[in-house]
Chain A
Amino acid sequence: MDKFEKDILGKIFDDDADDVKACPVPGTALPKGMALAMAYVPFQMWETPYEDDVAFSRGTVFPCLDKPFIGEEAVKNARTE
């Protein structure tokens, strides 16, 4: 279970959490003042691209965008920075 599931989902369903606050979920990592119920996409920064032949077969020159959907096992070893 990755950090998100443990810290947030885990807390939400933890019925005997002893925090006095109404909701046990900690503030998320997003900066203050961001509107609720809106989608955000982190801004991509430059990085050393793949070599041309590798990029051509991976379908992207940017390793950070190289996210093959390979079913259930993708969740565990997905490369997220």
Chain B
Amino acid sequence: MPVLNDKQKLMRKLQQSCFALAEANLYLDSHPTCKMGLEYFRRHKAEKEAIEKEYTEKYGPLTAVQSDGTKKWEWVAAPFPWERGEN
């Protein structure tokens, strides 16, 4: 496992949260009233939103629509999230 810098570590945590959410989504589609599943989803959704907030505050928008710069279009001001070596 390569050593990840802080930005890459945060991105990895975000990816892990998003993956867990996708899995919970699939499970809940066929188990819509499963309390444990719903709780799992709620917890990971909160986690994901916190991590995403931290990431975008530190490293800029993850999607173009998240740009809210008033003087500059932030989306192109920093490397794109998917660029090699950046995340």
Contacts and interface: CB of A to CB of B under 8 A. Distances in A.
B19 interface: yes
Contacts of B23: 49, 55, 60-62
A56 B19 contact: yes
B27 A55 contact: no
B40 interface: yes
B37 A61 contact: no
Interface of A: 44, 46, 49, 52-53, 55-56, 60-62
B37 to A, nearest CB: 6
Given A44-B27, A46-B34, 5 more contacts: A46-B36, A49-B20, A49-B23, A52-B17, A62-B27
Contact of B20 (A44, A46, A61): A61
A44 B13 CA distance: 27
A49 B37 CA distance: 10
B16 interface: yes
The CB with the most chain A CB atoms within 10 A, among B23, B27, B30, is that of B23
